[in-house]
Structure 1
Amino acid sequence: MNDMRLLLFKLLATGAICAGAIYPLLDPELREGLFAQLLARGLPLLSLLVAGFLLAVALYCRSLQRCLSLLQAQSRTAEPGSVWLMFLIPYNFIEDFFIVANVSNSLRAEARYNPRLRGLENFGMRSGHGWCAAQLVAFVPNWLGELATLVALLLWALHWRFIIRVNRLLSQRQPATAP
């Protein structure tokens, strides 16, 4: 897929996500789910939760950026700074899949010659794409969306833990070898 087609796909998919997210606002009977419950508890609590979540996303992005920065340039399928596209809302809901794939594919490429990464199996693709998919289902304004929110948060935490582990492996100093 060339760059222009890929961008068009991402923009169209983002448009579909936006339409799905806006639809419950147009139909009062669909205004339920986790977001509605939090909003009912007051704007200050919701604001605090959103701020905390955005801080967590920033720390996660920093971990992903560090991960890509620790890889050899020839292993990277994306620039380390590209992970910050996660803050480009609502585009991020689609772009997150590509960010996760780029990090996973970069790790896979690095593992071909970096012994520190031997033993890794899926390079974070399952948990990463799992949280990306679950966050889309979380837009459903009912119990399914609430369940998907919990699944997304759990898988996101697992993926983040995996990235932290990889960063530790990549940061280890090479043992000194005798001349």
Structure 2
Amino acid sequence: MVQEIGTLSPSALLEVLDELAALVDNAKPVFMSQDVRVDKQALVGLVDELRHGLPTAVERSDELLRQAQDELESARRSGEETLAVARQRALELVEQEQVVAQAKARAADIVAAAEQQAATLRTNADEYCDGRLASFAEDLDALTAQVQAGRAKLAERLGPDAGRPRWDHVRDPEWPTAPED
């Protein structure tokens, strides 16, 4: 599965990590060693996909967060406008009604309904933002866990002696001798 670089979704990033793990898991072992041979081109291609796709996924999540914040702000403005209209309407009712008590009661009802509507809009917007952020956190946690698992798997395969030259690559090895008593 290869997508155009820079357009990876969070699930596509996870698929690239799965492909990377499968490439390492299915690599041919080197004779008499825990080392494996991996197709360099395939490995570099998957790493490039991650390198280019991860920033895009983070930017997309930032964009979703900005959209959620814009929607919250819009909902708040809408609630404030509704409240302002309700207050204006309440003032008009007070001026038009013959009985001041009835006008005040009606105005209070309108203001209370507008405040309730504004509170509901704020609550809904906050819940939406929280849900989107929780979903993004789960995606990031899953991606982080897979990256850590892949790195741990690679560390196991590399082992503590990964930097030593292999015996079959040394031209004239100096073989250790037994200590003399």
Task: Give the TM bin, normalised by the shorter chain.
Answer: under 0.3
When normalised by structure 2's length, the TM-score is: 0.27
Q: Which of the pair has more CA radius of gyration?
A: 2
TM-score between both structures, scaled by the size of structure 1: 0.27
